[in-house]
Structure formats: C-alpha cells, structure tokens
Amino acid sequence: MTVPAGSAGPPLRIVIADDQASVREGLVLLLGGLPGIEVVGAAADGEQALELVAEHEPDAILLDLHMPVLDGIGAIRRLTAEHPGVAIVVLTTYADDSSVLDALHGGARSYLTKDADRTDIARALHAAAGGLTVIDPRAHATLLAATTTKPGPAGATPTEAAATPTEAAAAPSPDGLTQREVEILGLIARGLNNSEIAAQLFLSSHTIKTHINRIFAKTGSRDRAAAIGYAHHHNIG
C-alpha cells in the first residue's frame, strides 16, 4: 500500500507515543512532514497516550512498548477496549516472541521495529487505518517461530501430548487465537467469504477483515488457503 501523496482526502490523523524525547520529537518531525499525515499529539507514556487519543480521536496511534506509568502492552489493551476504532501500530526496538505476541493478542494491528524508515512507518499507519496488518520482517520471523507447533513430552503419544494438563491450561486455543477468531477461522475453512461471515455473525465487513488479518498474523498464514490448511490441521471448522 502506498502512502497517499497530495491526496485530496483528509490526512491521516495520528498520535505518537514514545518515552524517549529525542525519538518522539524526531518522529513528529519526520512523519508530520509527510503528505497525507497529521500528527495531532505526542505522548511520553501510555497514560498520556490514552488521554491524547480520547481528546483528539485520531485514526491511528504509533507507540513504543516499553514506556513508564503505563507500558505499551497495557496501553494497547486499553486502547482496544476503549477506542476500538483507532488503529494501533507498534514501533519498538524489541522483536522477541513475548513482545510480538502480547502486542498482537492485545489488539495491535501492525508491528514494526525501529529499523523501519519513515516511508515504511507511514505505509504501515495507512495500511493499519485501512484494516490491514503489516509485520516487520524480524517480528514476522519471530512470530512464525513462536507459533510453530511444539512437540509434546518425550515418549508421549499424540493423544497424551494433546492431553497434557499444562498445555491445555496455558493454550485453550492454538497460537493465542481468541474464541471469536477460532469461530471466524472455522467459517473460512467452510468456504464462506467475508460478506457471508459478516452476515452470519452480525458484524461489519471491516470488523471481519480486521479479525482475519489478526488470524493470519497469529497463525503465520500468508493467504486464505494457508489459513484453511491451518484450520484443518487443528481440527477447526
């Protein structure tokens, strides 16, 4: 997805949250100088980010994970609950499996590391606001590794491994999928398209698209066919 240049439509309104003043101010200058983007606020911590989002009602927020007062994961969860219409894009130095999975499970739509340049960041913000998911190559590799099915205990049969109490308690759904995502994945596996899924679940097509992008990210699926294969492998649908 390309960044609109000189678009006749309204600019993408964003809030930036990063506890490092130099990084925060640099992002404001870099992104604020691009066509099609308007920076409406800059926060030094998660609580301040929530206040700015409530005040300005932006289209998207770009935030770091490690911040004082309220960290990025906590902020993501509250943003998802309190401001579901705001697209969340993570920009951080961390690409470990815990950070990536916690952010995506919490409701972040896209995940970038600070190796990204301003064009990459702008594209991710526009894409996220449009309901799409953008995952940095490093974070994507981490995500794929983290969501690879792990073998059961040594010597255990597949049935025994599946019945291991610790695994059952820790992961009621594979790869951190929510119950709603499992439901939608099952409908995808049955051959329903987005409009049919939206009608059956009484949700908007935009909401369905958002769920599907998160399903793809969590399961490491590049397309619908891969997601269907994943569903069949996990007996979903």
Q: What is the CATH number of the domain that holds 197?
A: 1.10.10.10
Domain of residue 196, residue span: 169-233
- Provide the number of structural domains found in the chain: 2
Residues 135 and 186 in one domain: no
Residues 130 and 25 in one domain: yes
Residues 220 and 138 in one domain: no
Residues 100 and 191 in one domain: no
Residues 111 and 183 in one domain: no
The answer to whether residue 23 sits within a structural domain is yes
Q: Taking residues 131-153, report their average pLDDT.
A: 67
Q: How far is CA 46 from CA 60, 89, 173, 221, in A?
A: 15, 14, 29, 31
* Per-residue model confidence as pLDDT tens digits over 179-218: 888 889 989 888 888 888 888 887 788 888 888 988 999 8
* Per-residue model confidence as pLDDT tens digits over 90-129: 999 887 777 888 888 888 988 998 888 899 999 999 989 9
Residues 54 and 119 in one domain: yes
Q: How far is CA 37 from CA 6, 31, 52, in A?
A: 10, 7, 17
The answer to whether residue 183 sits within a structural domain is yes
